[in-house]
Chain A
Amino acid sequence: MKQLNRRNFMTLAALSGGALAAGIGGGREALAGSVKIPSVESSGRDFSPTTGKERKAIPTACWQCVTRDAMIGFVEDGRLKKLEGHPNSIRTLGKLCAKGQAGVNQVYFPDRILHPLKRVGKRGEHKWKRISWNEALDTVAGKLKELRDAGTPELFMYQYGRHKASQAATMYDFMGAYGTKTIGNHTSVCEAAKWTGQESLWGGMYDNWDYDNTDFVVIFGSNNFETHTNHIPTSQRLIRAKVDRGVPLYVFDVRLSNTAAKADKWVPIKPGKDGLIMLSMINVIMNEGLFKKDHFKFMRVTPDYHASTNDKIAAVKANVAKFTPEFAEKESGVPADTIREIARGFAKAKSACLVTYRGTVMHYHGADQERAAMLLSAITNNLDRPGGRVMGVGASWKHPSSPKAKVAKTLHIKDGFPGEAAYPTHHVSQQVWPMIKDGTHGRPKVYWWSCYNPAYINGDNKGVAATMADESIVPFQICTTIVYDESAQYADLILPDVTYLERWDWEDMVSANQIAEFYIRQPLVKPLGESRCQGDVWPELAKKIGFDLVYSSKEDFVRQSCEMTPGVKEAGGFEYMKKEGVWHDPNDKGNYGFYEQEVDASGDGVILDAQTGVYWNWKKTGAKSEKEATSAGYLKTSGSKGSYVAQKIGNKTYKAYPPNTSFLKGGLLDFYSDNFAAKGLPAFPTYTPIPEHQKMAKDELILTTYKVAVHTHSRTAHCKWLTEIKHDNPGWINPKTAAERGIKDGEAVKVSSQQGEITTTVHLTEGIVPGVIAISHHLGRQHSGVYGSGKTSPTPGGASADPDAKNIWWDKHGNHPNVIIPNWSDPISGTQRWMDTVVRVKKA
C-alpha cells in the first residue's frame, strides 16, 4: 500500500467502506509484514482491529474547540469509530489533539439528549416529557410570531457559546430575517480584551504566530502546547521550531504549564504583571538602542500624527522610562537580569514572536496589556513580518443571504451596565444574565441558548443559575443542546442538537502559515435519534412564523456557498469539497506585511485630512459637501470610518492599518490612542496595578484558572476518554504557601472570596508561584451525564447504554472555581476578569 497522496485520497473518499474492504479485508494474514511503512507521516486510512476491514473515510472538521481542525472520520458499519487529522490540511498537517481524538465520545455518550423535551414540573425539578419536533417548533413559532407581530422582535434573545463559520452565518441569517438583534455571544469570557487591544491599534484582530519562520519566541500567559484557539496548527509548529531549529523559547506563567515545561526557561511571574514585563523589556530595548526603526513610520506614539521617527523614539523612551527592570522585578518577582536577558535576545533575533493570551489579558486593564505586547512587537519590527506576530488569515467564504426583516431592534443588555466598559467591542456576555436580573434595560420574553452553558461558564455561575430558574424573570427559555447541563435544567423546552460529527458546515479558522484554508464539515453518521442541526431547523421555523429563507437545509447552504466562493467554485465547488474536504490556493505565497501595500488615493471624492494624514472619501460619509467634510475633518465627520482609503506617510500612500473595527482611527498604529484618552483610559500602554491586588491582606492569595490539554471549558466533561484522564481539579498551590496555612498535599481546603466559598482539595507543587492558587475550570459539573458528573441525566430517551459505563473507576468530579469568581469586567474591553479574584485558603 502506498503512502496516501492527494490523488488516491480523492478516490478513497468517494468509495464506500464495503467496496474498499473487498480488496483488503481478510487479506490480513497474507499481508502481514509485506508492507514497508514509509518514514513520513501518512494516513487518511484506517482499518478495524477486529475484522481487518477498511473503514470508510470521510473528510470533515473538528469542533471540540474553536481551532476546528480539518480531519478525517472513519466509519465502520454505520458507526463512527475514529478521527484523525486531515493529511492534506495545511493547517493541521494531519494531526489532531486529545480532545479531537475523543470526538467519538460526543456522538455516543449514554446521556445524550435525542428527542425534544418539554418541561412538565417546575423549573429545575428535572421533570420532562418527550414531544414531537412539530409540537416543539409550533410552540416556538407561536411565541416568536407574537413578539414579531407586536413589533418587539428584540424581546427574543438568542445567545450562543460556540457558533462559527456557517453555523453562525445561518443563525445570523435567520435572526436578520426575523428582526432581532438581541444576540449574545461568549467572547468576553474568553479573550475579548486581547481583541479590543489589537483593534485599537492595527484595526483588526487575531494574531497568528509565525513559528515556521521565527527565530525567537517569548510567551506570556498562553499554554500553547496544551490549549489555544488555534492549538494544533500552532503548537506543532512551535515544538518543531524549538527542537529542529533550536529556536529559544521563554515562557512567563504563574504556573509550570506543559508549555513552560518545554521552554528553555520557565519564568514564574505574579498574576497581572505581564504588561509590566513587556514595558520593561521595551525600556531595555530602547535604552540599549536595540530597537529597529523600520516600523516606527507606521506608529503613532504621541498626539502628533506627523512626528518624525526620532521624535517617536524619544517619546517611547520617555513613556517607558519608569518601567526599569528593577521596578518590574519588585512588582512581578521576575529578576531584572532575566528581563534584560530576554529583552536583548528578543530584540537581537532576526525575527521574534511575542505571544499573549488569557493569562495576560483576563485582568483589569487587560486590553492595555495587549497594547504593550503590540508595542514590543512593533519596536522590534516583528509586526506582520515573517517570523513575527502576524495578522491571522482565514478563509473568506461567500454565502447566500435571506431578505432582512423590516423591523430589527435590540435590547441593550449585551454590552454591560452603563459605564462598565469603554470599548466592549466583543460585548460583555458575563453581564447578560445580571442585566436580565436587574431588569432596568429590558428583559427578553423568550431566551434561546445554543452550544452555551451560562449557568456554568460565567462568573458567579450560581447567581446566573438562580436567575434562570426564576420563571417570573424570563417567561420562556429554549435550550439547544446535546447534553443535560447546568443551564439546560432550567429550560422550558430542550431541542436535541446534532453533534458536529453529524452536520454540514463550511469552515474558516485561521491558518498558521498565512495561507487561507477553505474546508468543510460533513456528517460522518446519520444524526442519532431525533437530533437535528439548527441549520436545518431555521428554514422550517421561519416558514412556521411566516417568512422564507434562501436555503432549505444546512447542506443546501453549504452547497450554495461552495458554488459562489471564488477559488472553491473553480476547484469543483461542493462536489470537490465533499471529496477532498480542504482547499487552498496553491499559488498563495502567504499574507505578510499588508500594511506596506501602496494604494492609489486619486479616486473621486478622495481627500487628504491634514490632521491625520488619512486619505478618505468624503462621498462615503454623512458630509453634505467636500467643504463641510474638509472643515470638520476625518475624525469629526459622521460615518467616516468606512471612508478610509489610505495613510500618507512621507510622500507615499499606504494601506497601512485601516480602521476595520469599531474604533475610528487613522492608518497608523495608535500607540497613542485618542479613543482611549477621550474615555480617561491610558492613551499610551502603561502599567496599571490591579486595584484588588493592591489592598490584599497578608494571608490572602490570588486565584487564577487554567485549561489542561484534555478538556475544553465546558463541552467535554461527558467525553469519557478525556474525563478518565482528568476528572478532578485540585487547586495547585506552592508548598511554601501551603505550609504557612498548615495544609498538606491532597487535603481538603475552603477557598473563599467576596463572591462565595468552595471546598476543594490541593495539589502541592513547586510548579507554581507562591501566593497563588490555580484551579482548572473544566470540572465540578452539577450535570454532565454519567461520565461528567457521576450521575445519569434525568432526561428520557437518551442514547443507548455504553457498556463502558460499568467500567467507570473514578468517583471524584472536581470543583468549579467560577462559583467564587464575581462577574466583573475590564473597564476598557468589558472582558471577564478571571485572573483577579482575591481569596483566602484555609484547611477545611
Chain B
Amino acid sequence: MTKINKVNISRRKLLSSTAGVAVAGVATVAVPATAEAARKAKAPRWGMVMDLRKCIGCRACTVSCKAENDVSLGRFRTVIQEKTWGTFPNTRKAFLPLMCNHCEGSEKDKVPPCVKACPEYPGERAKFKTPDGKTIRYRKGATYKRPDGLVLIDKAACVGCGKCIDACPYGVRSFDPFVKAGKDTTKQAADKCTMCDHRIDNGIEPACVNTCQGRSRIFGDLSDPNSVVAKLVKEHNLANNVLLPEEGTRPQVYYIDPEGVLKDLYRKRKKGKLDHYMDQIP
C-alpha cells in the first residue's frame, strides 16, 4: 500500500476544522479543490448488476475471491446463497450471489452504516483523481467511501473495534485473522469485499466478474449512461431491486430478477451472527 503521511489530528479538532465547509463530515460528497473543479470533477460510480437468470451456483466467484484476496478460512468476501422450495415434483432451487453492496448511504447524509460506525472516520485527507485528470478531495477513515463509491477499509487505520461488522445490515464484514488492526495490534483488522479496487484501479474488472461463466456478475460505472450496468439498471428498472431497500442504505449492487425470487431467496443476517455469509453446498 502506498504510504501516506498521516495528519495527526484529533477527532474533535478535525470535526471543528471542517465545520466551516458546507460538506463537512459527509463521507461521499467530495471537497473540490476549487469551485471550477467542482463543476467538472466527476468520479465514476462503480457498481454491480447481478443477473439472477444467469447465476448457475458454480461458486467460481466465491473461490476466485479467496485466491485473489487471500481470504482466510472461516469467512468469505462473497458467497452464493442457495435455496430449495416447493413440494416434489414442483420443486424450485435458485442461487443468490452476495457481496458488499458498496452502499451509497442514506438519502439524508449519504454515509453508509459501516462508515458511520467507524470511530476512525473521518480521518486523513486524500485525493482522488478522476478519469479526466481532475482532483477530488475526500476524507479517509478505517472504513470510508471513496469518491468512486467504493466502500473500503484502511487496515492500517483500523482499531479492530468491530463496530462496522455489527453495523452492516448485510453482514458482509468480518475480522481478518491474517492482518492486525494498525492502530491496535492486539486486535485484528476488519475485512470485506473491496470490489477488487487493486484491479479496478489498473483498469481490469473484479476477480469474481472475470471468472463468472454465466456473465451473471456485470461490473461498471453506474454514472455513465452508456455503461452496460447503467443500461441494465434502466432497462430492467432495477432501482429498487437491491437487498433490504427498507434499510435506506442504497446498495449499488442491483439484481436482475424477472421471476421475483430475490426476497424469498435472501437469507438475512441474524443479529450478531455471520453464518448466513458462509458459502455452503448442502
Contact = CB atoms under 8 A, between A and B. Distances in A.
Interface in B171-213: 177-178, 194, 196-205, 207, 210-213
A226 B126 CA distance: 45
Nearest to A335: B89
B255 interface: no
A678 interface: no
A560 interface: no
Contact of B203 (A2, A82, A239, A243): A2
Interface string A216-240: 0000000001100000100110011
B254 interface: no
A767 interface: yes
B20 interface: no
Given A47-B198, A243-B54, A104 B67 contact: yes
Given A49-B198, A82-B67, A97 B220 contact: no
B22 interface: no
A85 B203 contact: no
Contact of B205 (A41, A226, A268, A734): A41
A101 to B, nearest CB: 4
Contacts of A766: 84-88, 91
Nearest to B94: A261
B74 A809 contact: yes
A83 B68 CA distance: 9
Contact of B73 (A37, A232, A809): A809
Contact of A35 (B63, B131, B229): B131
Max chain A C-beta neighbours (<10 A), residue from B62, B64, B84, B210: B210
Contact of A721 (B54, B67, B224): B67
A58 B280 CA distance: 32
Interface string A75-95: 000000111110000000011
Interface string B120-135: 0000001111110100
Contacts of A261: 57, 92-95
B72 interface: yes
B282 A49 contact: no
Contacts of A42: 204-205
Interface string B52-73: 0110111110111011111011
A31 B148 CA distance: 12
A29 interface: yes
Given A43-B210, A52-B2, A235-B56, A726 B131 contact: no
Interface stretch (A586-594, A637-645, A800-808, A836-844): A800-808
Given A39-B227, A81-B67, A258-B56, A34 B74 contact: no
B116 to A, nearest CB: 23
B207 A35 contact: no
A33 B56 contact: no
B131 A45 contact: no
A338 B128 CA distance: 60
B213 A235 contact: yes
A769 B282 CA distance: 17
B21 interface: no
B227 A85 contact: no
Nearest to B211: A96
Interface string B203-237: 11101001111110001110010011100000000
Nearest to A763: B282
A710 interface: yes
Nearest to B90: A766
A811 B88 CA distance: 32
A101 B61 CA distance: 9
A769 B88 CA distance: 8
Given A45-B204, A98-B58, A101-B64, A34 B210 contact: no
B214 A239 contact: yes
Given A33-B147, A258-B93, A96 B203 contact: no
Interface residues of B, number: 77
Interface string A690-726: 0000000000000000001110000000001110111
Nearest to A736: B88
A262 B72 contact: no
A730 interface: yes
Contacts of A260: 93
Interface string B70-108: 101110000000001111110111110000000000000
A6 interface: no
B49 to A, nearest CB: 11
A34 B282 CA distance: 43
Interface string A483-500: 000000000000000000
Interface in A158-198: none
Given A35-B201, A37-B204, A709 B281 contact: yes
B131 A239 contact: no
A150 interface: no
Given A49-B196, A239-B213, A765 B282 contact: yes
A54 B203 CA distance: 12
B72 to A, nearest CB: 5
12 contacts: A33-B147, A41-B210, A49-B198, A50-B1, A82-B64, A84-B64, A102-B63, A239-B54, A239-B56, A261-B57, A726-B281, A765-B282
Interface of B: 1-2, 4, 43-44, 46, 51, 53-54, 56-60, 62-64, 66-70, 72-74, 84-89, 91-95, 126-131, 133, 146-148, 177-178, 194, 196-205, 207, 210-215, 219-221, 224, 227-229, 279-282
Given A95-B212, A240-B215, A766-B91, 6 more contacts: A33-B148, A37-B221, A94-B210, A101-B60, A239-B56, A804-B73
